[in-house]
Structure 1
Amino acid sequence: MITPAFELTQDPDFLTIIIKVPYARASEFDVYFEGEDFKFYAKPYFLRLTLPGRIVEDGREKASYNTDEGTFTIRLPKEVPGQYFEGLDMLTSLLAPKKSRSAKPLVEEIAASAELSEEEEEEEFDWEIEQTPYEESSESPPRLQHPYGFGNLRSGVFQRLQDELSDVIDIKDPDQTPAGERRRKRLEAEAAKFEPDHYLADFFEDEAIQHVLKYKPWWVDAHKKMTALQRESHQEHDTHTFVVFSEDEREQLRKFTNKSYLLDKRSRHHVYLGLIDILLAYCYEICVNEGDKNVESSWNIRKLSATLCWLESFSCIHDVLVSFGRRVLCYPLYRHFGLVTRALSDTAMILQLGKAAVLKCLLDIHKIFRESDPAYILNDLFITDYCIWIQKIKSKKLAALSESLQQTTLTKSHLGLELEELEAAAVLVQEEEDALKAAGTVSKQQLLPSESETSDSEGSSSTSSSETEGSDSDERESSTSEDGEINSFQGALEEERTAPLVACDGLRQGTGTSALGVSEETPKVPLQSVSLPGKLIEELEMQMHSAVRLSEQPEGLATASCVSQEQEGNPLPEPDRFSEDSAGKGVSWRCLQSQAHCFFSAA
């Protein structure tokens, strides 16, 4: 028998069942319904459903067949008009009648499903592989295998497939590694993988991250619509109105084998926490890729979920959030704490929307893993069971889980990566660099006006000196023309500007220190310190006249002597030519400086 494709809709008074049976004989079909049971048969199709509400046969039921589309449409009246049937989208849970709540059938059902999976693995067995006869050894007892997978119901899966599945999970030899050891190794791997430079780069240069954070997936609009309707009517609404399954998703639901799960309280707790962990990784993937899928989608989801990558079993919601936050900051391309908080809010929205929204996300994950080799093994370990299990739980459970998730706080300090200290140090360095840049800018701005002031002062001084030098310019020209060369001492004029003023007796003016001692021990006084250059010139001229007897002939200079130099026995250097203007005044400053150097500099 073939299970046909079907879907269910409802209005306040009727339940409508649409069954697709192409190539069936429309004249040969049977329909049976009573209470919660519904049966349909049209060779070779057979459909048996357990409805979430009761229907009644009162003459208002109708059935029609569309030959072009090959579909039966059956309208059945509700026993209680206005009653809302919850879970009409949960097609897998509707396929078979409800099982007994006793432990024995549940155990048998799980065992039967395990046998079926083992038979499927045996059918794919390579018969050409070299075999070794099995020898039972009494010396080594059987090794203890630690469970994992959905509800920790699996074990021994990776014992033979470790080499092939090394790219799927990070834990080595999970069958022989207890849960505590897995957690310890996971934390060590995350601490070794964390890169402060990568984190700081995304922290300071987050343009791309801020862009992807603006993306709004489908559950954002659905959550807004649900919240608006709840505010208007002040009552809860089923999410069937807001969550729509595609035909591919419906087909996948029909392919699942309906089964029940025998879970104790501790196992159910692990299942709920694992669901949060998987949804967080999925929300991150949808956000950073803005709803698109790529070759890295499978890697992102399983890498960010410690449930999938390390076969982790969490004990509280806070541990789930800490694990997810650490893995976001260690492994993917975008490592930003804002993406962690965004995934938290998205997961809370999905849980508030109910099991239909959660099932749609799980089906999308199932498709991503199904198309990725060898990640498909994660469907067998987790996702397929989650897709079947989620259809049978109540949405109120998920709403309570969402509320607990929203009440759990996660900060950067909880992640144990010293993010706040790292950010504070980086901010200090950035502030110092900004201060240095600002100081350099201010110094440049101050340098420009100071240079302009210097140029102005130099222009004024050059103007005054040009006036002084204008009167004796003829004398310098005549002196140069007579000697045939420029004064040999003029090359050291800039050095002489800083020479101290020394009296004829070899002492510095106003002091009792010799000129030689002053020149060797004390810094020279710059010429700019003299406020009245005109008086200085006259004073220097008087000192020179008192020390030297000038002759009108150039040879007279050769016989001139300085009192201090005669007493010290220092030879006199050959003076340069000295000339006066017609009034005996207006001596050139450069000429005076050169002559002062001639008389007062040490031999």
Structure 2
Amino acid sequence: MLNGQITHSYVGNTCSVVIPHPHVKEKAKSTPSPDEAEACCERGAEALVDSGATASAEATGATVHVNLDRIRNVDIFIGDNDLYFYADVKLYKFHSRRTFDLRGLKTLVIKYDTNENCYQLCLRCLPPVAIPGSGRAAGSAVTPKPKTARKEYIAAFLNLPTLADTLQDKEPLVHEWKLKRITDQCQLQLDAHERTYKLTNNFRYGYASGYSGPLQTSELDKSTCRVPEPERLSPLQRRLERISDEMKRFSRDQYKMNFVELQVPAGHQNPLRFKPKIHETSMTQEQAHLLHNLCSRTAATKNSTSTVSSQSINQPERRVQNEIDCGLISIVLAICYDVRTTNNEPTCESGWTRSILCPLFCYFEQFDNYRDVLIAFLRRVITYPLYRNFELGRQCIRDAIEVLRGGRNWLINQLLLTHLQFASGEPCRESFNNYYLEDYIRYVCNATACSDEHLRLLARNVKNVLMDVTKRQLDLGIIEIETELIQELMQEMRIDAGSGSESPSQHQSNIADDDVLDTDEASGLEDDTTTDDDSVITDSFDSMDLRLIENDVYAVDEENEGDVDDGEEDHSEVEEEDHESNSSTTTTSDAEGNSVIEQCTSNSEAAASISASASASASTSTK
């Protein structure tokens, strides 16, 4: 979708917008042929039936010779400060510094000037609200101070961003999923005639927008394809449907899990460490047979060259070529993600992955710039597949750049493999092959239409655009999610550090307090405030484990001085006693705790007597 230029002006609380028609170069015919006049009369009669008028169709034929079908083929969305106007094949965006009055918007009359070939809209705006202390209204825009010639020269010499680039980076982020469709509330009026017409929906889709009418397929993958009737939805509406679905399906918790670490199953390689070998490829016999059949089809049945040429009669060739290239990049990105995440070993889910990550297949979406292609791919990467990681998506974009630089054979092989996956998978995705993939296979195989130099140019453009794509442009709030996750991790680290910085004296005092409490419980002393039996049982088991460790140390010190084998046997016996003590009841554990305390007391008394006798003998020898 090409973004056209809009002129506007403010008069009071009304904003007047003038939008040129995409085919503004086409002039009305002065004397239409009989066939054209009859067709115009038929269209005029149909328009009159739609609008409820009662005038004759013959009177309309003299007015509708400007190709009314294209003029009425319009789709309109509006927000608080934004207007999206899709006219036939071109998208026009307008951002207003004044807020539109949407509450009073019931019926919008669109005037079309047949001499200038442009639409004229008048939208009511809310009164501006003055900001206290600023001296200007809230809806007024601030005009930046223009740079001088000297500053522009210095900026160019130092490779600094220009003024236009700076303003483009600071342009407001439009939440497109909040826009409201008002097409059904609009009426079209030609020149100054009183007769009005309803807007129609008859949009094209598929490879190079070369298809119209309902889908010619009996089976459609409804789980993947979200637009079963693409001819009834404009490319703008398909895009907004995709954005809305991604907002609903995006999971904050899943993104947090994959942001810290990819949940890679055991025995599988980390996708971030995989390096695809685009220069090593081999084609199976089935793929070679499929390639021969696709390239040998005649132009009468289905040929991408004839499709593009038929569209170039009424549409600029540059627009068609740009749409084809953007669609090819979108398909290559989905393939690179599947290859990287499966280590180039396709699975039963590869067909689903390659279709769900490509908006061409799911929504019959049309692209006209690389930035929208990359943003749409990154949004779907962190929303649908198994590994939802932003850096993984960027790595797949780098893989696509390498493929476009010098991997034509690898790309053809993967396109054929994708065709086989769509044709043989469950559910069947044959419609994706009919309307997109077969034409793209013929396009890539045609060295004249898609040369190596052209592919390298695409790779260079994608690389330049990738440097400017940020997380903020995804409009999913992932920067806030990552900040929240980092704060949670830092809080956990503080808690762990605080619990681990306990001094040895405090640790010994805590153990002594636990021993005193266990002794009181064993002697039958009960606390009136304690009512939770589970907490008592848990505390008794925890203190018992600590005392058994101390008992183990004392046993080694007393009985196993210099005897390693006996120490191992005693250690195994202590482990068996530990296992038996853990399976005992609360009463037995308290009793064992008392016995351990008595043993520790006797051991300490024995050690004290030994040290006293040793000191007495030492004093005697000194004398």
Q: TM-score, normalised by structure 2?
A: 0.45
